[in-house]
A and B are shown apart, each in its own frame.
Chain A
Amino acid sequence: MTILTNRRGLLRAAGGIATAGLPLPAFAQGSPPPKPDRIVVNASGGGMATQLRRSYFAEFERLHGIRVVDTSPVDFGKLRAMVTSGNPEWTVTEIGGQDVDRAKELNLLEPIDTSIVDLSRYPAAGRNSHAFIGSAYSTVLGFRSDVFRDGSHPKGWAEFWDVRRFPGARSLRNHPVDNLEFALLADGVPMDQIYPIDMDRAFRKLDEIRPHISVWWSTGAQPAQMLVDREVVLATGWNGRFFELARRNAPVGSEFMQGSLKSSAYGIPRGTRQAYWGQQLFQVMTNPRLQAMYATELSYAGLHPDTASFVAEDIRPLLPTAPVNLERQFWLNVGWWTENGARAQERWNRWMLQRG
């Protein structure tokens, strides 16, 4: 499973924010290609699809009069098969953060047309030649706030590993991504020296926590559900899942300290017929007001610098991109994982199969 595949929020809360779309600057030279009656956008589905529709798709449909049809799930293998077959069904697809480089390498994506998609105010982390960075999210530490009261929860991975001070069943993802980083941080490696990952050291540290992990989770809904059911009292998980629980007043809190930041990316499959309208959709998605609307519901914040100012003040500290959170977290090194992912996964599988 790619990092992003199952990050589905289940939010149904009705937001009271009015769609205040900004008019689009007409960047495209000459006359645009004829309008199709629909474009197909493939993303993670679930609550995320609902919010994509309410914020960006609705605005795109209003501006261009082209219907947006959404499909799911995100599937890198399918993207490759589609492009190879020469007839991509998707106009735009979400891509797992760690797959962007590989997609580019395999020539699966159309380049981003910056004469249509205005990224001039985006930070460097938000500019990619072949992918539009939709938002940022983070793998963070979730905890039962009735077990760890008044901020007495573990902060950082050394404390997550400390089973004497913080007793109780735990859950980690059944995947090497994030876990190798967290193990090194628990072992005292500073955040800026994680990469290149020393796998021997990371797995040695994982050996220590292994007996205390009652569940190795595989879909994003699991850690949230297990915390709610008290199956475990500590779990890693995607910040949006914990954000959603907090909004529903479930006794679950989350800690951004040493969280693992990643970006959620979208691309246009090479050879798709409506590529131009895919670029136009990205332009709509740069709109900070719409990004704020999306972030308010899901906590996955877009990278436009003005987005935070449109988000309600009580929500801001819960966004992974809030300045106070940004400085306590690290960006997952996608390059390292692209190069070493298969090797790490095989070692992980072996490690999981060791008995005891």
Chain B
Amino acid sequence: MSSPGDSRRTTARRRETALFLLAVPALLLLGIIFAWPVLRLLAMSVEDGTLANFEKATLDELYLYVLFDSVKIAAMVMAICLLVAYPVAFWLSRAGRWGVALGMFALLLPFWTSVLVRTYAWLVLLGRNGVVNRWLRDAGLIDAPLPLLHNTSGVLIGMVHVLLPYMVFPIYASLLRIDPDLSRAAEGLGAPAWRSFLRVTFPLSLPGVSAGCALVFVLSLGFFITPALLGGGRVIMVSMLIEQQVREFLDWPFAAALSTVLLVATLAIYALIGRITRGARHA
């Protein structure tokens, strides 16, 4: 005979199994179209039986430098996105119906435009004789055109523009989930608005911040077209080197090694972001 507690536990376990079954198709799909190819890729990088490809990818200063530079740019894009996105998300979470509609429209419209088109639009706006420089010159603010394009700043502007929605939406979602009574309670207990934000709202929004940062960072590392066009050749991202190897030189084993190094670096930084935000939440 089983006790009522046991049967409850069995029911719970059965429910868990049933719920897990629901996830099986998705897991299978991921396994087939993602995990398996990644493993094949890993295998390809050591095809020749040596670690020579990895040696080149991790010890050669060219590839190290480019990897470091890519991580640096991804981190900068992430930081700028966070600074810009948080106030927007905060405003959206407090705005009325029309404010939300307008904000969503403004965020999603560029989101649905091809990255290539947007990148070319920046070329027109930021060039030496572009719209921005012409305005600044006509306003008497500058004498010589600002170098906004064909350097790191051009790449940052272009990438932040493309990736901003990925930061805004997770933060917005987590801000919406916060019970408004909590900050009301904090203020009712005499906390000024800034302290209630800092001690209540912000810590509770950290899951969104963490998700947004991770998304933007990971997507940034794989960026390709925007840095190629707006960097004027002076910015090289790892993804560009991988593309060269795959498409131009057909050195797939080396491309696989580079991709693996990039994947490992991404996972490591992803874990780091999770740890930092978790730490901050418990502080």
Instruction: Give residues in A with beta carbon < 8 Å to B.
Output: 1-2, 75-77, 80, 102, 106, 169, 174, 214-219, 221-222, 225-226, 229-231, 341-342, 345-346, 349-350, 352-353
Contact = CB atoms under 8 A, between A and B. Distances in A.
Nearest to A96: B248
A345 B129 contact: no
Nearest to B124: A229
A30 B216 CA distance: 61
Contacts of B241: 349
A352 B244 contact: no
A244 B149 CA distance: 25
Given A2-B248, A174-B228, 13 more contacts: A2-B247, A77-B250, A169-B128, A216-B234, A218-B229, A221-B120, A229-B123, A229-B128, A346-B62, A350-B62, A352-B236, A353-B65, A353-B66
B233 interface: yes
Interface string B222-262: 00000011001110100001011011111100000000000
A222 to B, nearest CB: 7
B127 A229 contact: yes
A75 B149 CA distance: 28
> Closest 4 interchain pairs by CB?
A216-B233, A174-B233, A215-B232, A342-B249
Contacts of B248: 1-2, 76, 341-342, 345
Interface in B116-156: 120, 123-124, 127-130, 149-150
A353 B152 CA distance: 13
A230 B250 contact: no
Nearest to B232: A215
Contacts of A346: 62
A214 B62 contact: no
> What range describes how many residues of B lie at the interface?
20 to 34
A226 B66 CA distance: 27
Contacts of A219: 228-229
Given A229-B127, A230-B128, A222 B247 contact: no
Contacts of B243: 1
The winner among A76, A106, A216, A231 for most chain B CB atoms within 10 A is: A231
B236 A353 contact: yes
B250 A215 contact: no
A19 B241 CA distance: 44
Contact of A215 (B120, B233, B249): B233
Contacts of B233: 174, 215-218, 352
Contacts of B249: 341-342, 345
The winner among B127, B233, B243, B251 for most chain A CB atoms within 10 A is: B233
Interface in B1-15: none
Nearest to B246: A77
Nearest to B69: A353
12 contacts: A1-B248, A2-B248, A75-B247, A76-B247, A76-B248, A106-B250, A215-B232, A219-B228, A219-B229, A346-B62, A349-B62, A353-B66
A215 B150 contact: yes
Contacts of A80: 250
A240 to B, nearest CB: 19
A346 B130 CA distance: 33
Contact of A229 (B65, B129, B232, B250): B129
A229 B127 CA distance: 8
Nearest to A355: B234
Contact of A1 (B127, B129, B149, B247): B247
A353 B65 CA distance: 9
A1 B249 CA distance: 10
A231 B251 CA distance: 36
A231 B127 contact: yes
Nearest to B227: A218
Contacts of B128: 169, 214, 229-231
B251 A342 contact: yes
Contacts of B124: 229
A350 B66 CA distance: 10
Nearest to B56: A346
The winner among A75, A77, A230, A345 for most chain B CB atoms within 10 A is: A77
Contacts of B123: 222, 225, 229
A102 B232 contact: no
A217 B149 CA distance: 12
Nearest to A75: B247
B255 to A, nearest CB: 9
Contacts of A218: 228-229, 233
Contacts of A77: 246-247, 250
A346 B249 CA distance: 11
A222 B229 contact: yes
A117 to B, nearest CB: 27
Contact of B244 (A225, A229, A345, A350): A345
A216 B229 contact: no
A352 B234 contact: yes
Contacts of B244: 345, 349
Given A77-B246, A214-B150, A218-B228, A229 B130 contact: yes
A309 to B, nearest CB: 38
A223 to B, nearest CB: 12
Interface string B63-93: 0011000000000000000000000000000
A269 to B, nearest CB: 15
B232 A216 contact: yes
Nearest to A225: B123
